[in-house]
Amino acid sequence: MNTVSTRHWLLLLALTALSFGMAESAWSGNAVLVPVLLATLVKGRVVADRFMALRHAGALWRWIVLGWLIVVLGTIAYAFHISTH
* Total domains, the chain: 1
Give the model's pLDDT for residue 1: 56
Q: In terms of residue numbers, what domain contains 49?
A: 3-84
CA 30 to chain centre: 16
Give the per-residue pLDDT at 32.
85
- Residue among 14, 29, 39 nearest 80 (CA): 29
Q: Are 29 and 68 in contact (CB under 8 A)?
A: no
If you ran DSSP here, which 8-state letter would residue 85 be given?
Answer: -
pLDDT of residue 67: 96
Q: What gap in Å lies between CA 12 and CA 70, rounded to an integer?
A: 18
Prediction pTM value: 0.85
pLDDT tens per residue, range 20-79: 998 888 666 677 888 999 999 999 999 999 989 999 999 999 999 999 999 999 999 999
Residue 8's pLDDT band (cuts 50, 70, 90): very high
